[in-house]
A and B are shown apart, each in its own frame.
Chain A
Amino acid sequence: MQILGLYNYWIFIVLMMCGFYVVISRGNLVKKLVGLNIFQTSVFILYISMGKIAGGTAPILTGMATIYSNPVPHVLILTAIVVGIATTALGLALVVRIHEAYGTIEEDEIHAQSEDEAL
């Protein structure tokens, strides 16, 4: 039961591994960025899960509720989401420039061209 009860953490682990695997295994630069995005998003889920308490509400003192969720991880992850957007935007911008310079976004083809240059 405990394993099922922690399902959001299982999602975190599965997403993280999927994303990480895509980054490592794909040769297409855009696909790598997609993988990186999934990898980062999994961490967002980790942070959001840990701040949430079942039945808890937003931490506003109304006198009605007694259980509050911790808002700090949610705020932290807002920052991390912004960082993730910046990283993706910059990564895609680099891919555009790489495409202009090499005419391809496949890692092995770029590598082959760079090898020729070195010779």
Chain B
Amino acid sequence: MTEHLPVLQVVVPLIAAPLCALLRPGRAVWLLAMVTCALCLLIAALLLDRVLAQGVISYAMGGWPAPWGIEYRVDAANAYMLLIVAAIGAVVMAFARTVVEQRIRLPASKQPWFYATYLLCLTGLLGMIVTGDAFNVFVFLEISSLSSYVLISIGRDRRALTAAYQYLIMGTIGATFILIGIGFLYVMTGTLNMADLAARLPAVADTRTVRAAFAFLTIGISLKLALFPLHLWLPNAYAYAPSAVTAFLAATATKVAIYVLLRFFFTIFGAQFSFGTMRLDAILLPLALAGIFSASVVAIFQTNVKRMLAYSSVAQIGYMILGISLVSVTGLTAAISHLFNHALMKGTLFMALGCVSFRIGAVSLDRMAGVGRIMPWTMGAFVIGGLSLIGVPMTAGFVSKWYLILGALERGWWPVALLVLFTSLLAVVYIWRVVETAYFQPAPEGRATTGEAPLALLVPTWTLALANLYFGLDTSLNAGVARRAAEALLGVGP
């Protein structure tokens, strides 16, 4: 049984999704989805444990050996990503039930479809991570993308529809670019297996086709991960999606795209080709810095808090890309560790906002005035998430910022390190605006004085909030394993 873990990781949610769609609305369908998510988390934890103990796991799909059949290949980097996505998937699923039943504009009879779509999205994300086959990445990418368009479009606001449409157009262009890139690689090498591609590419690396493939993949993946200036789909999609969906997508979807970027550029093309020959870092670095700076500034001027956090996500993606563009073990450790930490902090923040909108029906700054006094637990979680986002010591966010600054100083780029510190101050500004409004301003007239959010929402929110604190102190997972993943990607170390 345990040798089938890599494939079970994908098959379990894939089979559970149509089962969910067949069930009648009610508690059972949620329970099935929840158990599925919990199983995924368990499988991911077991996989990480095995990979750390025994090294790379290779699984031949259907018994067909590697270069011909589809190989599922799990190393430190995948296993770590699987754990992030599965954990967020499970926590948000626990959160989703109350939101879906009462807050989403979805007739009760259609609710099972929400769970089915959510599980399909999870399947796609997990599949992109676990697979060792380049074309398989595209297939899972489309599974997760198509289901996330649906999830976004069921937001209460009608602008959710246009946001989903815009994301569909941009996402499909990105995915098609990736498809073209993979096609060019196949033309040159005759293989789709990632390890096999890595072995065969150096012989043909100096051709226009491979360089074109590289360009198409760069643009395609950058669209999916919302690298500045290709991030335009993201703010609306996150702002108008239902809060549970935003929490799930913000914490996982762009992270998985960054993982795909790492996989293609470090494992398939190799750091030597991507950063030595093609000088990708020279493009990524300025875009990352521009993204961090401009998105943080734009976030300060937002009045919709969800939209503000969406812009903050663009800035945080910039930090990860910055870490990658340092092309060193420390820089990559920062990027990979930030994948984990950002999932924790944005998960917390968006779920706390979900609690707020559950009670007062809006998340604009003026409507949130005084909410800290009536919802102390919710806003407490928001503050912890905010501190982590800023990168205050003792929170998870500090760990990745620390490595990022170390990595920049290692390269002697002290202006970059200073900019990281300065933009953290911008994060202080926009988080403080919310805290100030929520705690120190009187409640607006005419808002119903409702109490704290129900426990079913608070428990998942606080689980992630406490994880922010825990992983700020015990960094063996988010820095230790991240370092091993970075070393594996760069091909140095054990």
Contact = CB atoms under 8 A, between A and B. Distances in A.
B146 interface: yes
Interface residues of A, number: 31
B183 A46 contact: yes
| Chain B contact surface mostly | helix
Given A87-B168, A97-B153, A36 B146 contact: no
B100 to A, nearest CB: 19
Interface string A24-60: 0000010010001001100100110010000000000
Given A46-B183, A83-B139, A40 B172 contact: yes
A86 interface: yes
Nearest to A80: B179
A71 B67 CA distance: 16
A2 interface: no
B149 interface: yes
B151 to A, nearest CB: 12
Contacts of A101: 158, 161
A83 to B, nearest CB: 5
Interface string B158-185: 1101101100110011011001100100
Interface of A: 20, 23, 29, 32, 36, 39-40, 43, 46-47, 50, 70, 72-73, 76, 79-80, 83, 86-87, 90-91, 94-95, 97-98, 101-102, 110, 114, 117
14 contacts: A36-B173, A43-B176, A43-B180, A70-B190, A83-B146, A86-B146, A90-B146, A90-B168, A94-B164, A97-B153, A101-B158, A101-B161, A102-B158, A117-B159
Interface of B: 135, 138-139, 142, 146, 149-150, 153, 158-159, 161-162, 164-165, 168-169, 172-173, 175-176, 179-180, 183, 186-187, 190, 192
When A and B form their complex, which 9 residue pairs have the shortest distance between CB atoms, in order from nearest?
A101-B158, A83-B142, A94-B165, A98-B161, A50-B187, A97-B161, A87-B172, A91-B168, A43-B179
